[in-house]
Structure 1
Amino acid sequence: MSHHPDTELLRLYASGAIDTAHGAAIASHLDSCPHCRNKVTLFESEAAEEMIAVSNAEQKSSEELEQVFAHMLDDITTLDADYSKPKVRKPGKVRVDGKEFIVPPTIAPLVDRMGEWRSYGGKVFTSTIDIDEECRVSLLYINKGVQVPQHTHKGYESTLVLHGSFQDENGEYHAGDFIREDGETKHAPQTTEQQDCLCLSILTQPMIFTQGVARVFNRFGKGMYP
């Protein structure tokens, strides 16, 4: 595994301040990435030590400290539903283009909120996931031997590879990899003739196409969501 969430996202995850979609994506990445798991453990320890230091500085009584840790435990338990500390779940199933894929347990609750698949030329399929958040969350399936038109981003694009692989101008990405792009990136993701790809996509703002006839979509709403 070569691509990981950045430190900022891992700290947000460790603190429980991450949004639902990124929380699920990072939890799934952590399942197969000991490097990032160790980082999250460190950030959690730092947060706990900071809380203890603040409590000592304020000279709280032992009873008040117990209340602080009780509230902290309540918060951690509550955050299970927000994917910051995922519960043990069963894997989910995704069916698209006549194929069935198994997705990690941390992603399964998102699958339950999927909409209908939309097809672009029978080569690219997207399904929007209904989450009450500002970002656009989708499952994206790219068939074998397909190139997505080159584009950039008004905000951030986070991608978790769930199955298969794809590549772009910046590298190759395989199952478990987490990639985050912004407006400094122009890329044209593509699959090989031998391998398709299923991804979880999180967009904070629409894509902006930068080449070819796909740029016509930029005229409608200053960009396009998949």
Structure 2
Amino acid sequence: MNIHPSKQQLLDYCEGALNDVDGFTIALHLEQCSECKRLVSELEHSCADSVFNAELVNDSSLNIDEGFQNMLATITDLEPTGALAFVAPMRHNATVTTPNGKTFQLPPPLSRHAERISDWKNYGGKVYSASIELDTQARVNLLYINEDAQVPQHTHKGEETTVILHGGFSDEDGHYHVGDYLVRDASHKHAPFTQKGEDCLCLTVLTEPMIFTQGVARIFNLFGKGMYP
């Protein structure tokens, strides 16, 4: 794994400052990356300490022991409901089967949306996509690139975020592995491809359509609309 979210993105994740989709993609990366998971744990502790210390400064007249006891009493008086009723919820891992019959296990953040994954559609050649119907304006898809296949060269009107779930792929800038977290925008132009004996399952989020820059795929750029997978 070579590519990770920035420290600022991880801090925003800890503080709940990201939108739902960005938080979702970060959570998927954390499932695969022990390094970022450790950093998030450190940032969460730091954020908690900052909030706790700020509350003590803002209410210096409150005795620390008294404040702790009041907080503890409030928590223990809460009636657990819904997901909170489970002390240790089971981590259910759903699966997805690709058009060529391969079955992959989905990480927990994606498993909870398994019923919202549509049927696969052919994206051209040996590339397939399945949309995930989430409550967001961005387009969220599973993308499966079979072995020895290529996505037509393209750039982006907005941002494309990709998290690799299984396998890997390459483009003009290098090779990417499971867990890698890639963000591409209008300053990037690439043509992802897999090699013989290699395939790739990834999650992609597009805020705007792709713009194809080579070959017959450019027909999808008519009227400036571009194309979603």
TM class by smaller structure: 0.7 to 0.9
- Give the equivalent residue in structure 2 for 1:156: 159
Could you say if the C-alpha distance between residues 68 and 139 of structure 1 is closer, same or farther in structure 2, counting changes exceeding 3 Å? farther
TM-score by length of 1: 0.83
- Give the equivalent residue in structure 2 for 1:83: none
Contact conserved, 1:149 with 1:211, CA < 8 A, in 2? yes
SS at match of 1:36: helix
Q: CA RMSD in A?
A: 2.9
In our comparison, the structure showing a higher alpha carbon Rg is 2
Instruction: Find out whether 1:179 has 2:172 as its counterpart.
Output: no
Instruction: Find out whether 1:25 has 2:25 as its counterpart.
Output: yes
Q: What is the aligned counterpart of 1:90 among 88, 92, 99? A: 92
Instruction: Find out whether 1:201 has 2:194 as its counterpart.
Output: no
Q: Deviation digits for residues 55-87 of structure 1, max 9, x if unmatched?
A: 23322646777569969xx9xx9999xxxxx96
- Give the equivalent residue in structure 2 for 1:9: 9
- Give the equivalent residue in structure 2 for 1:188: 191
- Give the equivalent residue in structure 1 for 2:45: 45
Structure 1: gaps of 5 or more residues: 81-85
Contact conserved, 2:159 with 2:186, CA < 8 A, in 1? yes
Aligned-partner Cα distance in 2 for 1:209–1:153: 8
TM-score by length of 2: 0.82
Task: Report the AA paired with residue 58 of structure 1.
Answer: N
SS at match of 2:53: helix
User: CA offset at residue 27 of structure 1?
Assistant: 2.3
User: CA offset at residue 202 of structure 1?
Assistant: 1.0
Contact conserved, 2:155 with 2:185, CA < 8 A, in 1? yes
User: CA offset at residue 124 of structure 1?
Assistant: 1.2
Task: Report the AA paired with residue 49 of structure 1.
Answer: D
Aligned-partner Cα distance in 1 for 2:94–2:4: 23
User: CA offset at residue 220 of structure 1?
Assistant: 4.7
Percent of paired sites with the same residue:
44
- Give the equivalent residue in structure 2 for 1:108: 111
Aligned-partner Cα distance in 1 for 2:207–2:144: 19
Q: Deviation digits for residues 74-133 of structure 1, max 9, x if unmatched?
A: 9xx9999xxxxx964222110121222122222211222111211134511111101101
